[in-house]
Amino acid sequence: MAVKSNIVIDQGTDFEVTINVLDANTSAITLEGFTGNAQLRKYYTSSRKYDFDVTISANTGEVTLAMSANTSANIASGRYLYDCVLTYANVVSRIVEGIVTVNPRITR
């Protein structure tokens, strides 16, 4: 079951958040061989998506989601949904999901 975590992205800025993937004993899980995918969408059924860059630090159990200023500048302000899934040997696991609030940009 995925952890619920809401995030805020300021439109037109670089964004980055790191997620620690832990086992039941709160020890970091080794993520060797895992791949990751994360997206932001207005609704669950939206065909339009915005991808996060996903970086996995295998030894520390850290997954970093990042989005460039160029990408976030093209997202209309408002509320969205996101999740991040990890895949290993054809097994897909959702590690985090939540609401994204995109704050409007003032300075252009």
- When pLDDT is cut at 50, 70 and 90, the band that residue 1 belongs to is low
51-93 confidence digits (pLDDT tens) = 999 999 999 999 999 999 999 999 999 999 999 999 999 999 9
Q: Give the total residue count for the chain.
A: 108
Q: What is residue 2's predicted lDDT score, i.e. its pLDDT?
A: 82
Set out the domains of the chain in order of their start, with CATH numbers: 3-103 (2.60.40.10)
Between 58 and 1, the more confident residue is 58
> Hey, what are 100's tokens?
């994204």
30-41 confidence digits (pLDDT tens) = 999 999 999 999
